[in-house]
Amino acid sequence: MRDFSEAPFLVIWEVTQACDLACKHCRASAIPDRNPLELGGKEAREVIRQIKDFGDPLLVFTGGDPLKRPDLFDLITESVNAGLRTTVTPSATPLLTKDAISRFQQCGVSRMAVSLDGADARAHDAFRQVAGSYQRTIDALRHAAKIGLETQINTTVTRHNVDALDRIARVVGEEHARLWSVFFLVVTGRALAEDDLTAPEYEQVFDFLYRTSLTAPFDIKTTEAQHYRRYVAQQRKKTGAASTAAPGVIQRQAGINDGKGFLFISHTGEIFPSGFLEVSAGNVRRTTLQQAYRHSSLFRVLRQSDALEGKCGACEYRNLCGGSRSRAYALTGDFLASDPRCEYVPSNFAAA
C-alpha cells in the first residue's frame, strides 16, 4: 500500500461554488453567483504550482460549476503545462456547449466527468431541479465520445434512485464512459438524512456494483463508501481469487481516505481533508498545501489508522478501508468515529 504521508494521490479543487443547477443533494449548496472571495487568478496559479510540488497527483477542477469561472481554460492549461493529469467536472447547463467540451480536449484535459442521477429525463431532471439537464448530459457525453475525450459518469446513490441503478449502469455503458463513480451520501450541504440508505442497503448496493464490475465495459469506483473495498476483498476471498486485492481502480484506491491521499481546496482557499469534511487545516492565503497536508495535526491524525475509534479502530480492514471520515463527522461530530453506514463487525470487536 502506498505511503500517503508526503503527498496526495488526488487533489480536488472547487474553483467556484457558483452553479446554475440546484441539485437536491448538492454538497456545496451551490448558488448562481460567484463569491467575491473566490481565489483570484494569481492565487490560483500559485495553488497549481504548489500542487505540482507534491509530484504528480491527479488534479480535478470541480465546483459548483467550474465553467462559471471565466479563467477556467487558462487554469486548465496552466495545470496541464505543469505536467499534472487534469480532469474537469462541469455541470450540465447551457454553458456546457460542444465548443466548451472541445476546448477541454484542446487544453489537454484527460477526462471529463458529468453527473447522472437518474436513468431517464424525468428522474434525473427532478433530482437536478432543472428541465433539460438529462439531455444536456447525454449530449455532452456523446460529443466527448465523438471527439475522443474520455468520460466519467458520477452518480449519487440515494433512496430516490437506488432502484434505478441497474438502468443507470446500462446508460453508463451505452454512452461509453470509462469510469462509473458512485457517490454515497454524506449528509452535508443540501443532502437530507432521510435520503440516505441504511447500512444493510449499502451492502446490497455493493453487491450490485461488484457483480456489475465483473462484466461491465467500464471501471467502477465508490466515493465516501470506502467499505466497498472491504466488500470486494471479502468476495474475492470467498471465490478463492489469488489476491484479495481487486484489480484496477479498486486497487489504486486502496487506503485512500479523507486527508489520506486526498486533499480538497475550497473556492475560498480552505484546505479540507474532503469536500464532505469541512474542517480546515488552513487557508492557501496563509499557509501552503504542503504544510497543511504533511504537518497539520488534522491531516496527520486522519492518516493514522490506529487513531480510529470503535469498530473501525478494531477492524482488520482499517488500512484498506478506514470508513468514511466525512460520514463519521457528519453523523456523530467525531471524524475518528466508526462509519455508521458499515454493518461489518470485526470479530475482535465483537469479542471485546
Residues lying near ligand SF4 in the complex (CB under 6 A): 227, 230, 311-312, 315, 317-318, 321-323, 338-339, 342, 344
The nearer residue to ligand SF4, 84 or 337, going by C-beta atoms, is 337
Crossing angle of the two packed helices 199-213 and 227-238, in degrees rounded to 10 = 60
For the CB of residue 246, give the shortest distance to ligand SF4 in the complex, in Å: 15
Q: How far is the CB of 346 from ligand SF4 (least distance, A)?
A: 6
What is the Cα–Cα distance from 96 to 273, expressed in whole angstroms?
29
Closest separation between CB of residue 321 and ligand SF4, Å?
A: 3
Looking at the Cβ atoms of 136 and 311, the one nearer to ligand SF4 is 311
Q: Is 9 in contact with 57 (CB distance < 8 Å)?
A: yes
Q: Dihedral through CA 130, CA 134, CA 136, CA 140, nearest 10?
A: 140
> Quick check: 227 and 321 in contact, CB under 8 A?
yes
Nearer to ligand SF4, 173 or 346 (CB): 346
Q: Coil, helix or strand for 190?
A: coil
Of 86 and 274, nearer to ligand SF4 (C-beta) is: 274
Minimal distance, residue 182 CB to ligand SF4, in Å: 16
Q: Indicate the residue among 106 and 198 with the shorter CB distance to ligand SF4.
A: 198
Cell numbers given for 179: 469510469
Contact 201, 162 (CB under 8 A): yes
Q: How far is the CB of 313 from ligand SF4 (least distance, A)?
A: 8
3-state secondary structure of 196: coil
C-alpha torsion sign, points 265, 266, 268, 270: negative
